[in-house]
Amino acid sequence: MITTVKEAVDNALDACEEAEVLPDIEIAVRRTGPETVRIAVEDNGPGIMPEHVPFVFGKLLYGSRFHQIRQSRGQQGIGISAAVLYAQLTTGLPTVVTTRTGAREPAHRFELRIRVETNEPEVLSHEEVEWDRIHGTRVEIEFRASLAAKKRLVEYLRSTGVVNPHARLRAEIDGEEFVSERVVDEVLVPPKAIKPHPLGIELGQLARLVEGAKGPLAPFLVDRFVRVGAKTADEICAAAGLASTARVESLSGDDLSRLLGALQSVRVPPPPTTQCLSPIGQDLLVRGLSAEYRMDFVVARTRPSAVYGGHPFMVEAAIGYGGNLPVEGSAHLMRFANRVPLVYQQGACAVTRCVAEVNWKAYGLSQAGLPQGPLLILVHVASTNVPFTSESKDAIAAIPEIEREITLALRDLGRDLKTFISRRDRTRQAEERARAVCAILPELAAKVAEVTERPVPDISPIEGQIMRKVVAKKWTLGGRVGIEVQNHTGRELALQVYEQSGDPAGDAEPVPDFATELDGVVTRVWQVSLPPGGAWRAEYTGSGSGTIDLRGVDEHRKVVVDLDV
């Protein structure tokens, strides 16, 4: 199920990118029978020309971009037509495609199947229909599956949202809604294709290049390969034992394999990397993650582009810490290749190994293989040719150049995280110390007043001296509950005093700006604006069983003390 959704969503994102529109993708997953599921994926992409539709969906391994050398999602996965085939084999039902290429064009609706024997599309029906979309494509596929992988599917969509901050994803999965909002309104500029690099070429590719080409060999090499000049071309020819002037059209199979050897032995500068790769960028990674997860700290790194075996690549990584991330267990690892989440085979992936081999203890984390704690680690490998361990394309292969970049990025992030953790610990300690003093001083004042038989002194100036913070206090005395907030910072503050308590507090003075009751617990909110050195106080009749908190103030700038505890 995930594979099918993944194919459809990847295609949709790629289509939108190519047309330079902000992707708006809707996904519906619905149970249609005890063992069958119907999915529908709809995008606002450019649509597909009606004459291409049968081939895109009804012919296996059909792809217009298959041989382009640039970062693209289409490298991953099995192709949407395989999903069409799976559907017809398990349910016998055709796939329904609706597409429209523009306001002046009608929408076309197809019912498609694949002729298994010939790998040719079979159009069961084709009609023009009304559609409220101006352009876009909708695919509906029904196949045999269970909804067991529902959680994983949500995780996949969420991951997709993180690395595609320019996209809006809306999904309804078996009645449950999931939304990943758009974080940035900039259209993604699609990476440009580059010519192949001598180091990264295979025999089949070479054969295709040579096919139909004419003329002398050396200019051919200069023309068809990146980073090959006249001098390098001559060197390659010499290494292959061929004349620079040898006619390309007359090369034998034997010549070709010698040429391939020569291409890969002659030293050629690495290919250019910038235009053909599309990194997400540090800023957008941080924003994308922050939109999907609540964390106390998040930082990202985009490494400079590099090359392995003639293929440009680039590593990006991000670390999130704290917040709502689960405290127990291993870090949540998110792996991406060319902006596509890798869902399966985490254990076999080079990314996983790199993460496990970093010494996280040096950065203040515990580690058992993977680092432990409220931690999220994201690694994105972008390349014109992401090396996978197998055809299923779920795990990145262990290429030393790539592993090195991943490790460097992770260590860099680890150092940032360490700085954050130690600063947070220091702040926390300081706060705890202040909190402790803040709780003791009133008792000391009361006791000293009792012993000396004098009225209890007002110690708020002392508290301010110690705290330099916003201090919120709650106390109960003789059936009256008091709440006091003092601003000891040097800044004007607008904040909310937030209280939850079993007391109805009808006589609260001042009257709360907001109050609501649920199961006997009243939530009250006061909007308070405090100048530096200012104080605010509320009182009501009650038992003081509740808790108070301040909103609108930095955690490390506030101290909340319950004097009843």
Partner 1 sequence: MSRNDLDARARAELLRIAEAWYDQMHGGEVPSIALPTRTKQNIEYDDESEVWKYGEKESLRSAHTAKSALHLLKMAWVIGFLKQQLAENRSSTLRELYYISEGWKRAKFGAQEESNLLIEDLEILTALQREAFHLRPEEDGATIFGPLRIREATRRGPREIHCRDDVGEAGYAIPNTVEGLEFLEHDASMVVAVETGGMYARLQENGFDEEHRAILVHLKGQPARSTRRVLHMLSDRFDLPVTVFTDGDPWSYRIFASVAYGSIKAAHMSELLATPRAQFIGVQPTDIADYQLPSDKLTDRDVQALKAELTDPRFDTDYWRLQIRRQLELGLKTEQQAFAARGLDFVTREYLPARLTEMGVL
563 is a contact residue toward partner 1 (CB under 8 A)? no
* Tokens representing residue 123 in the block: 């159009």
Q: Are 5 and 156 in contact (CB under 8 A)?
A: yes
In the block, residue with structure tokens 């490298």: 75
Smallest separation (angstroms) from partner 1 to the CB of 560: 16
* Tokens representing residue 91 in the block: 């349910």
Q: Which is nearer to partner 1, 281 or 442 (CB)?
A: 442
Smallest separation (angstroms) from partner 1 to the CB of 485: 19
Of 113-121, 212-220, 364-372, 449-457, the segment contacting partner 1 by CB under 8 A is: 449-457
430 is a contact residue toward partner 1 (CB under 8 A)? no
* Tokens representing residue 436 in the block: 């402790």
Q: Which is nearer to partner 1, 343 or 445 (CB)?
A: 445
Q: Which is nearer to partner 1, 239 or 439 (CB)?
A: 439
Smallest separation (angstroms) from partner 1 to the CB of 283: 41
Residue among 175, 254, 452, 479 that touches partner 1 (CB under 8 A): 452
Smallest separation (angstroms) from partner 1 to the CB of 468: 12
535 is a contact residue toward partner 1 (CB under 8 A)? no
Q: Which is nearer to partner 1, 267 or 454 (CB)?
A: 454
Smallest separation (angstroms) from partner 1 to the CB of 437: 5
Q: Of how many residues is the chain composed?
A: 565
**What is the spatial distance between Cα 3 and Cα 269, in angstroms, rounded to a whole number?**
38
Query: Taking the mean position of all CA atoms in its chain, how far away is CA 184?
Result: 13
436 is a contact residue toward partner 1 (CB under 8 A)? yes
Of 10-18, 163-171, 278-286, 429-437, the segment contacting partner 1 by CB under 8 A is: 429-437
Q: Which residue in 315, 77, 307, 337 sits closest to 200, CA to CA?
A: 307
**What is the spatial distance between Cα 366 and Cα 432, in angstroms, rounded to a whole number?**
24
366 is a contact residue toward partner 1 (CB under 8 A)? no
Q: Are 219 and 234 in contact (CB under 8 A)?
A: no
Q: Hey, CA dihedral for 559, 502, 564, 442, is it positive or negative?
A: positive
Indicate the burial class of 129 (C-beta count within 10 angstroms; 0-12, 13-18, 19 or more): exposed
**What is the spatial distance between Cα 312 and Cα 145, in angstroms, rounded to a whole number?**
38
**What is the spatial distance between Cα 127 and Cα 106, in angstroms, rounded to a whole number?**
10
Considering only residues 106 to 135 of the shown chain, the ones binding partner 1 according to CB under 8 A are none
Residue 320 φ/ψ, nearest 5 degrees: -120, 150
447 is a contact residue toward partner 1 (CB under 8 A)? yes
> CA–CA distance from 513 to each of 516, 523, 527, 531, 534 (Å)?
11, 11, 6, 19, 20
Considering only residues 453 to 482 of the shown chain, the ones binding partner 1 according to CB under 8 A are 454, 457, 459, 461-462, 465-466
Q: Which is nearer to partner 1, 364 or 534 (CB)?
A: 534
Q: Are 3 and 79 in contact (CB under 8 A)?
A: no
**What is the spatial distance between Cα 380 and Cα 396, in angstroms, rounded to a whole number?**
11
Of 2-10, 23-31, 350-358, 435-443, the segment contacting partner 1 by CB under 8 A is: 435-443
**What is the spatial distance between Cα 225 and Cα 198, in angstroms, rounded to a whole number?**
7
Number of amino acids touching partner 1 (CB under 8 A): 22
Of 234-242, 433-441, 494-502, 543-551, the segment contacting partner 1 by CB under 8 A is: 433-441
Q: How many CA atoms lie within 13 A of 475 on its CB side?
A: 11
Q: Which is nearer to partner 1, 325 or 462 (CB)?
A: 462
Smallest separation (angstroms) from partner 1 to the CB of 358: 38
Per DSSP, the residues of 60-109 read TT--TTTT-BS--GGGSSS-HHHHHHHHHHHT-PPEEEEEE--TTSPEEE
| Residue 247 DSSP symbol | B
Q: Please, which residues have CB within 8 angstroms of residue 126's CB and are 6 or more apart in sequence?
A: 50, 108, 109, 110, 111
Residue among 60, 154, 291, 445 that touches partner 1 (CB under 8 A): 445
440 is a contact residue toward partner 1 (CB under 8 A)? yes
> CA–CA distance from 405 to each of 94, 301, 401 (Å)?
45, 11, 7
Smallest separation (angstroms) from partner 1 to the CB of 13: 55
Q: Which is nearer to partner 1, 49 or 448 (CB)?
A: 448
444 is a contact residue toward partner 1 (CB under 8 A)? yes
Smallest separation (angstroms) from partner 1 to the CB of 448: 5
Q: Which is nearer to partner 1, 261 or 457 (CB)?
A: 457
104 is a contact residue toward partner 1 (CB under 8 A)? no
Smallest separation (angstroms) from partner 1 to the CB of 420: 25
Q: Are 166 and 185 in contact (CB under 8 A)?
A: yes
Q: Which residue in 497, 480, 494 sits closest to 548, CA to CA?
A: 497
450 is a contact residue toward partner 1 (CB under 8 A)? yes
Smallest separation (angstroms) from partner 1 to the CB of 474: 17
Of 211-219, 415-423, 447-455, 492-500, the segment contacting partner 1 by CB under 8 A is: 447-455
437 is a contact residue toward partner 1 (CB under 8 A)? yes
Smallest separation (angstroms) from partner 1 to the CB of 436: 3
Residue among 22, 291, 441, 525 that touches partner 1 (CB under 8 A): 441
Smallest separation (angstroms) from partner 1 to the CB of 559: 13
Of 81-89, 125-133, 448-456, 555-563, the segment contacting partner 1 by CB under 8 A is: 448-456
**What is the spatial distance between Cα 257 and Cα 5, in angstroms, rounded to a whole number?**
41
Which positions touch partner 1 (CB under 8 A)? 433, 436-437, 439-441, 443-445, 447-452, 454, 457, 459, 461-462, 465-466
